[in-house]
Amino acid sequence: MNKFSVWTYGLILSVLLLGILYSLPNIYPAKPSIQIAYSDSGMSADQSLLERVSQALNASEVAVSAVKLDENNIVANFISLDDQLRAKTILQRSLLDDAVVALNLEPSTPAWLEGIGASPLKLGLDLSGGVHFLLEVDIESAVSNRLEGILNSFRQQFREEGIRYTNSVNNGSSIRFTFNNEEGYTKARGMINNENVSPNGLIYDLVLDNFSNTIELTYTDVAIREIRDYAVGQNLMTLRNRVNELGVSEPIVQRQGRDRIVVQLPGVQDTTAAKKIIGKTANLEFRMEASSTASRLRKESFVFKASELQTADLERTVIVSGDSVTNASTGFDESGFPQVNITLDMQGGRSLQKATTGNIGRRLGVLFVEQKSRSEIVINDQGEEIIEQTPYIEKKIISLATVQAVLGTSFRITGVGTPQEASELALLLRAGALAAPMKFVEERTVGPSLGKENIELGMRSIMIGFLAVVIFMFAYYRWFGLAANLALISNLILITGFMSLLGATLTLPGIAGIVLTVGMAVDANVLIFSRIKEELRAGLGPQEAIKEGFSRAFTTIFDANITTLIAALVLYAIGTGPIKGFAITLSIGIVTSMFTAIMGTRAVVNLIYGNKNIRELKV
């Protein structure tokens, strides 16, 4: 007789119940919502912001189901996606630069399911929508910053060699030195020529003026191309690190063209935090405090981040910048105030050690450098009100502490504000500094509406394929087809449940993977049923034919699925974006289809035929 033990039936039932349990959150639709938070990371959402949001929404005709204060954000829930999109535009115009406004989908999973870790499937950008940024790397700033470093380096060398110059200037695209006499001019020209060759050719184009003893250096086209590739590559890696710190599922961070980067963030729970972290082009600059007797050409005045009424003068020379930071973590000082513990690379450590040697007792300033934008409502050529953004760079002092000992690769900075601000600064530094500022060329939300349409079309394709297979299997294989159909339904439930349990992300190509899995699951049953037919034609009895059919088909099914699984794992390992989405669902589907096609179908067949003395078997 063909029958399973009680333990085998218990195992099959347990796996199926587990799949059903973790699939349940997907029947509860997510609510369209908007998250609003202050642009300043040090400020948490409060009653004042809640009132401004409520007033702006009440003055409009948008239907709002609820507006509430939730931890550091204001959350507004809406009935429809159209209301959500209209409310976003209204709030952006009302709040401008005071707050970050971001679309979100708030889960409506019951608390008892959340208590066991059950959550809806994470949807990719093509299904759920999400934030889309197109950023452009400011190559001119990258070149200017490099030239500033070269300028400071040559100043240092000229001082050490006793070469006197009357003027040195960086005009953004070139640097120029004017020397006191012909002797200094000749000596400096020799030093510059010695450093003007790299493995790829000349670094600078030199403009020499023997009459006025002036040397002007401009980067060659090859050098500018190298700077651009480095800046875009470094910024690309930094943004990927920041996204990884946020734990975003299936993000897309890739280069577009010569100097642009695309960032797409689907399915994030806290989109306001994502926008603030991804949008920040922050860096640090370490400079010594300028002496009171220093000329205005050698120092700059900055305000403090904590209090803009307080200012200090810092030297123009940058000792170390944020791109030398290899690690950063938060902590608390002896007084219980937040601090950031910083580790530099060897070159940065040597620069800081050299700068602080002999300067014990002087104060070292830490500048927080951030590219921001000012928003204002303007009237365009069509007479429509639009929000226009003007980028600018802001530099503020976050720490000005007395150097008590020679500093090296590890030290700490205090006066960084609240614990939240310290944590954000550490994240930015740990993820890596940007090699050049970036500006937002495009910022949009890739739609909940488009995602809804994709989901509907994808589900329609699954249902059409599923129903076609179910009808064919039942019409052709009868009761065996019924067993295969029950296994097929179980397979879809298990795929959904285990993808939710594992936190995998469903994308549009992932839906294609599910459709393919439906076909593969049926293919395994077709092999089994065909084998049973062969055994019956060979003269075996019904029970023996069933047993041999499942047993002998197993090897073929196992080999075919394992080779497909290997291909899917390779796709996941080397693929990106949509390819990974396809590979994930295909891999999970292969495992679940083998379980349902072999054990699930066999269990149903055993329940139908196992305890019966049958003389004829119709397959």
pLDDT tens for residues 395-445? 888 888 888 888 888 878 776 777 877 777 776 666 656 777 777 777 666
pLDDT at 301: 93
pLDDT tens sequence across 180-207: 888 888 888 888 888 776 666 678 888 8
Task: Tell me how far apart the alpha carbons of residues 320 and 598 are, in angstroms, rounded to a whole number.
Answer: 64
- Segment 466-495 shows an average pLDDT of 85
Task: Tell me how far apart the alpha carbons of residues 228 and 467 are, in angstroms, rounded to a whole number.
Answer: 54
Task: Using DSSP, state whether 584 is helix, strand or coil.
Answer: helix
* Residues 6 or more apart in contact with residue 421 via CB below 8 angstroms: 41, 42, 338
* Residues 6 or more apart in contact with residue 80 via CB below 8 angstroms: 32, 63
- Segment 38-64 shows an average pLDDT of 82
CB 458 within 8 A of CB 127: yes
**What's the token pair of residue 95?**
């709040």
Q: Specify the range with the lowest mean pLDDT, choosing from 163-167, 454-458, 529-533, 570-574.
A: 454-458
How many residues does this entry show for the chain? 619
Mean residue pLDDT across the chain:
80
Closest listed residue to residue 270, CA positions, set 238, 236, 242, 247: 247
- Segment 100-124 shows an average pLDDT of 80
* Residues 6 or more apart in contact with residue 67 via CB below 8 angstroms: 50, 53, 54, 57, 74, 75, 76, 77
For tokens 């809406």, name the residue: 78
- Segment 334-349 shows an average pLDDT of 82
Task: Using DSSP, state whether 228 is helix, strand or coil.
Answer: helix
Checking if the pLDDT of 452 tops 70, the result is no
pLDDT at 278: 66
Q: Specify the range with the lowest mean pLDDT, choosing from 15-19, 242-246, 610-614.
A: 242-246
High-pLDDT (> 90) share of the chain, %: 3
Give the model's confidence band at 271: pLDDT under 50 very low, under 70 low, under 90 confident, else very high.
low
CATH H-level, domain 6-25+448-609: superfamily: Multidrug efflux transporter AcrB transmembrane domain (1.20.1640.10)
pLDDT tens sequence across 213-268: 898 888 888 888 888 888 888 788 778 876 765 555 557 788 888 888 888 777 55
Checking if the pLDDT of 8 tops 80, the result is yes
* Residues 6 or more apart in contact with residue 484 via CB below 8 angstroms: 473, 477, 522, 525, 529, 597, 601
Can you name the CATH fold of 31-106? Answer: Alpha-Beta Plaits (3.30.70)
87 vs 59, 93, 100, 377, 383, CA distance in Å? Answer: 11, 10, 13, 17, 21
- Segment 103-118 shows an average pLDDT of 80
Backbone angles phi, psi at 511, to 5 degrees: -60, -40
pLDDT tens sequence across 324-337: 777 778 888 777 88
High-pLDDT (> 70) share of the chain, %: 89
Checking if the pLDDT of 482 tops 70, the result is yes
**What's the token pair of residue 333?**
């000082």
Strand 320-321 vs strand 283-288: parallel, antiparallel, or unpaired? Answer: antiparallel
Checking if the pLDDT of 448 tops 60, the result is no
DSSP 296-350: GGGEEEEEBSS-TT-EEEEESS-SEEGGGEEEEEEEE-TTS-EEEEEEE-HHHHH
Checking if the pLDDT of 73 tops 60, the result is yes
Q: pTM, whole model, 2 decimals?
A: 0.58
Give the model's confidence band at 289: pLDDT under 50 very low, under 70 low, under 90 confident, else very high.
very high
553 vs 11, 524, 532, 564, 589, CA distance in Å? Answer: 22, 8, 9, 17, 19
CB 400 within 8 A of CB 380: no
Q: Where do the domains of the chain lie?
A: 6-25+448-609, 31-106, 140-223, 283-433
Closest listed residue to residue 287, CA positions, set 306, 304, 305, 300: 300
Backbone CA torsion sign across 541, 542, 546, 552: positive
Task: Tell me how far apart the alpha carbons of residues 223 and 143 are, in angstroms, rounded to a whole number.
Answer: 10
Q: The domain 283-433 is classified under which CATH number: 3.40.50.300, 3.20.20.70, 3.30.1360.200, 1.10.150.120?
A: 3.30.1360.200
pLDDT at 246: 56
Q: Specify the range with the lowest mean pLDDT, choosing from 19-23, 109-113, 267-271.
A: 267-271
Checking if the pLDDT of 619 tops 70, the result is no
Checking if the pLDDT of 209 tops 60, the result is yes
Task: Tell me how far apart the alpha carbons of residues 474 and 229 are, in angstroms, rounded to a whole number.
Answer: 60
pLDDT tens sequence across 378-394: 777 777 777 777 777 88
571 vs 448, residue with greater confidence: 571
CB 271 within 8 A of CB 131: yes
pLDDT at 41: 62
- pLDDT winner (highest mean) among 124-128, 270-274, 419-423, 524-528: 524-528
Task: Tell me how far apart the alpha carbons of residues 377 and 383 are, in angstroms, rounded to a whole number.
Answer: 12
Checking if the pLDDT of 499 tops 50, the result is yes
Give the model's confidence band at 269: pLDDT under 50 very low, under 70 low, under 90 confident, else very high.
very low
145 vs 67, residue with greater confidence: 67
pLDDT at 430: 66
pLDDT at 230: 81
pLDDT at 535: 82
For tokens 């030297």, name the residue: 315
Closest listed residue to residue 205, CA positions, set 194, 188, 217: 217
pLDDT at 314: 93
Strand 73-78 vs strand 122-123: parallel, antiparallel, or unpaired? Answer: unpaired
